[in-house]
Amino acid sequence: MTFLQAMLLAVLQGVSELFPISSLGHTVLLPALLGWKIDRSDPTFLAFVVALHFGTALALVAFYRQDWIRIVRGLFASVVRGRIGDDPDARLGWLLVIGTLPLALAGVFLEKPVRQFFGSPALVAGFLILNACVMFAGERLRRVERGPGSKPPRPLALLSYASGAQIGFSQAFALLPGISRSGASIVAGLLFDLTHEDAARFSFLLATPAIAAASILEIPRLLVPEAHAVLLEALAGGLLAAITAYASVAFLTRYFRSNDLRPFGWYCLIFGTVCLTLALMKAIV
């Protein structure tokens, strides 16, 4: 992996982790399209990926720092007093805790087998098309439900714990490369009557503990002797991923105030179809 390739991968990670277009799918398809020979099981590459995830997690914490301070305070206060009560920050905190557990369990038990079986560019492209269909279907159902005489959107503060768990569970589908974590969780949020803005905010807050925990648990990969060979790439890539992730989340939180998922659905449909065609023609492997 050259320095330029590393920086392009860092930008790709920072952007695609939060845009509902599947970062994992793009990190499989783009190197295949560009003919990059990257060994994904190489310790130096794994160390580099950990640094990118660490940068992304730091960007999310920095962007939502005020929210996280309130949420952590609310969580601690609820544990001390022994009840959640009417504290909206504690309630949001417990929604995030409950929403994170399904992905954590699925991650430790299913991540390796799923990536072994579904890592080929053709399958990833197929899942990217499926990701587009999920977003289109979510928006379609949303428009049907939001027709004349429908009930008003549900504020995030009134989301039930069962709904929070189901939104969290939807993230587990993103273990399939090509299915977007944020796309799945935003669609699930929409189906539980959240606005696009609240669904996206909940999705990005849910992403923070998942990405941060995955990065922290993978830190030993940064400490192996082989990782020293990519120290510069890891540091620069982590920083670049952090900057692009921060810009992405800033853009998306504004975007979802008045827009929906359909443009991302069209992008995934077109890119997925092009990659699937190339893969079936054996032009990419």
> Where does this chain bind another protein (CB under 8 A)?
79, 81-84, 97, 101, 104-105, 107-109, 112-113, 213, 217
Q: For residues 48, 184, 130 and 21, what is the CA-based torsion angle, rounded to 10 degrees?
A: -40
By beta-carbon proximity to another protein, the closer residue of 97 and 236 is 97
By beta-carbon proximity to another protein, the closer residue of 73 and 146 is 73
By beta-carbon proximity to another protein, the closer residue of 113 and 155 is 113
149: left (phi over 0), alpha (psi -120 to 50) or beta: left
59 and 245 Cβ atoms separated by less than 8 Å:
yes
Least distance to another protein, CB of residue 24, Å: 18
Least distance to another protein, CB of residue 75, Å: 9
Least distance to another protein, CB of residue 79, Å: 5
Least distance to another protein, CB of residue 119, Å: 15
Cα(141)–Cα(91) distance, integer angstroms: 27
Token pair 């935003």 in the structure block, residue: 186
Q: Where do runs of H (alpha helix) occur along the chain? A: 3-16, 23-34, 43-63, 65-81, 88-117, 121-145, 161-171, 181-191, 196-217, 220-223, 231-255, 262-280
Collect all residues with Cβ–Cβ distance below 8 Å to 175 and sequence separation of at least 6: 106, 107, 110, 111, 114, 115
Least distance to another protein, CB of residue 223, Å: 13
Token pair 């799918």 in the structure block, residue: 25
Collect all residues with Cβ–Cβ distance below 8 Å to 97 and sequence separation of at least 6: 75
Least distance to another protein, CB of residue 261, Å: 30
By beta-carbon proximity to another protein, the closer residue of 65 and 112 is 112
One-letter identity of residue 4: L
Token pair 């008045």 in the structure block, residue: 258
Least distance to another protein, CB of residue 31, Å: 24
Least distance to another protein, CB of residue 268, Å: 30
By beta-carbon proximity to another protein, the closer residue of 79 and 280 is 79
By beta-carbon proximity to another protein, the closer residue of 208 and 244 is 208
By beta-carbon proximity to another protein, the closer residue of 3 and 109 is 109
- Pick from 196, 169, 183, 201: nearest CA to 103: 169
Q: Which residues of 237-259 are buried (b: 16+ CB within 10 A; e: fewer)?
A: bbebbbebbbebbeebbebbeee
Token pair 């990670």 in the structure block, residue: 13
Cα(72)–Cα(94) distance, integer angstroms: 10
By beta-carbon proximity to another protein, the closer residue of 81 and 254 is 81
